[in-house]
Structure 1
């Protein structure tokens, strides 16, 4: 069953978290290794990044990457501390949602791109935008993807509920969630994490968490309406499990348990889902609200810290890490929906999920980058802190959002 496998992987992740993994590139007394920081959720994912480091070294023996990993939840706080101390790794992994808050320690890449003539036209424009701030590019992307819904095909079939297709509506989503909810099962899992909650709010009410200038806007009527509807899936309608406490992994854990039929996710999560789920996984679009199906895109990439003593060699490394050849490989093992459009075929060939291309193309057609603030980690922390009260119904969306807005600040 999925439970023992998850426990084993959790033990492996705990044992490996924060450890140092040395790439097996050619380090024979020549060029100093370049340190590279990355998040990894366990041994399998860590091995993927280890292999990428080795592949880069085989491509250019002058480059050896020394990989350092930590959990995603700890990664950005640790990175900030290292930025402040001036000892950050040369190659820094960055998520588009958090770029705005970490530029103080990162080197803008625009001059290096221009000086080397590196061609960025093959990269998806939305994630390039997401990895930029104030008109400057801070990372080259390796993956991108729209937020979609994953669903448990076994639960749908067992309950006799038609599987959702791209273009389905919020009314159809709620109807399916009700039919799939039983004594010990739920139709959906709702949680206050940014990449999972905001697309559902966007499609419901059109509300966005920030304005065009990167200021936090959580207290508008449309935002309050959308978040209240989302929280009520657990608090009032009872088609989603109650949130027991501040737990960033709650949504994924609940979906993988096999007792929840639907969850928000992204193509970048396919590797873990395929390996850990004890059921057949399906994909569909975020259900359509008044203005159709709407969603956000997100992605990640590699940048360079200001403390790196050899930024030119680090730039060469990240161009090799994001080369078409390497992104086809990452797509082929299911770790990334490649940021290069020319490499995305590898993801579809590996996924082998019926209708995956139709779902992702439909989602990409309406996806917009999720723009955040410089203090986005603080926003997420507060949402997780106050989430249990919101999702239990003991606090309203208006109360919680006003509290988060006040405590996190506007920018």
Structure 2
């Protein structure tokens, strides 16, 4: 998923969008047609812009390799990769889509698909025209990247939310490493024992995927949206679950106070060795392997009264309405989500592949013991659904959720504010 570390965050993640910072017009020289999303030279060669989020060099290098593989297969198609931090992506994407200045190839997160379809091209006709067999894609993420019965993106990753933990901190504190199926009580006991010497047992943040996965597990049934697509943040079950999660910071003190809105907060705290556990997704493995200065382990979301539960999310690639070269863009997207490419992304831990046939590749370079954890998480996970206007909800959750986490307001009051101020 796009990656947001749960971080969810991150991915998200993830799992985990994309926004390309400022004035992106790709030029390729020579006489030809130009647009914001790409251009065509007089010899028929097409250059397409592709917007993707990336957290640093490792991420960007992985995506540049994907862009290069499109050209290897279709020498007349060049891809100009433009990256930005995940936190900036969706803030700007809507404006660019509405203004007709979006990249040809648009990266999309399943959580947010419904809010951006007005600027994206449905892919159903191109799927049919090109005879693309979509049966190999995980059905939950295909549904997540669809809206109103139309497919708006092809997925590259899918993943269930899990716990990442610092093996070194567990060992130093004499705390047994978590096993598949461990409970909320086990989690709380470990977090308390690991909170010592200015370090914390866990790091929480009011970011939707990670937070709501933990709340779902704790309560067994509290979800942020009902089947009709309406927010349900003010149910008693949700208020109870949200208060429990906020109190890990506000009352139990096993998670650090949050100084302000910062979508990278859990990532920074975990990688800096300041927190022993965080909620995350398989999309973050590449970054963790590159940056962590300690042993990293994976665990299932702790089980509540109804057992292990989690949400799943993912990301994919679509085509903007303003793209003047949809046929070439679809060839690019098809290549970027092919079994070959997704197998390669999986083998370096960048993405838990959305194609079922190559999901085994992810385990080849993942952390030891990952497979039983992901198998258990996937078996119990359900797709995370969001409202059509989800971005404002995310912002409000951060704004009021941080106050609850820091003990400045109650969970009930925070959720009432989010529910009241969120668009329908």
**C-alpha contact (below 8 Å) 1:177/1:239 kept by paired residues:** yes
Decide which of 66, 79, 88 is 2:80's aligned counterpart.
66
Tell me the equivalent position of 1:92.
106
Could you tell me which residue of structure 1 aligns to residue 328 of structure 2? 313
Q: Residue 231 of structure 1 corresponds to which residue in structure 2? A: 246
RMSD between superposed Cα atoms in Å: 1.9
Counting matched residue pairs gives 393
Residues 184-231 of structure 1 show CA distances to partners (whole Å, capped at 9, x for unaligned) of: 111111100112111001111121111112211111111101100000
Residue 282, structure 1, aligned to residue 297, structure 2: yes
Q: Does 1:303 align with 2:318?
A: yes
Select which of 324, 327, 337 maps to 2:342.
327
Matched, 1:243 2:274: no
User: What secondary structure, in the 3-state scheme, does the structure 2 residue paired with 1:33 have?
Assistant: strand
TM-aligned CA distance change 1:297 to 1:402, over 3 Å? same
Aligned-partner SS, 2:283: helix
Query: 2:147 is matched with which residue: 109, 128, 133?
Result: 133
Output aligned runs, 1:10-409, within 5 Å: 29-205=43-219, 206-351=221-366, 353-409=367-423
> How far apart are 1:77 and its partner, in Å?
2.1
3-state secondary structure, aligned to 2:293 = coil
The runs of 5 or more residues in structure 1 that have no matched partner are: 1-15
Deviations 1:17-48 (A, max 9, x none): 76979899x98943221111111111221121
Contact in 2 for aligned 1:18/1:68 (Cα 8 Å): no
Alignment TM-score, normalising by the size of structure 2: 0.89
Q: Which consecutive aligned stretches of 4+ in structure 1 deviate over 6 angstroms post-superposition?
A: 16-24
Query: Hey, which of these two has a bigger chunk of helix by percent?
Result: 1
CA contact (8 A) 1:19 1:69 kept: no
Distance verdict in 2 for CA 1:228–1:20, change over 3 Å: same
Normalising by structure 1, what TM-score? Answer: 0.92
Secondary structure, counterpart of 1:387 in structure 2: helix
What is the DSSP-based 3-state SS (H/G/I as helix, E as strand, rest coil) of the residue aligned with 1:100? Answer: helix
Please give the per-residue CA displacement for 1:291-327, whole angstroms capped at 9, x wherever unaligned. Answer: 1111000100000111111212211110111001111
In 1, Cα distance between the equivalents of 2:27 and 2:137? 26
Higher mean Cα deviation, 205-214 or 230-239? 205-214
Structure 2 partner of 1:4: none
2:206–2:402 contact (8 Å) kept in structure 1: no
Contiguous gaps of at least 5 residues in structure 2: 1-19, 29-39
Q: What is the CA–CA distance in structure 1 between the aligned matches of 2:169 and 2:22, rounded to whole Å?
A: 37
**Take 1:22 and 1:335, find their aligned partners in 2: how far apart are those partners?**
26
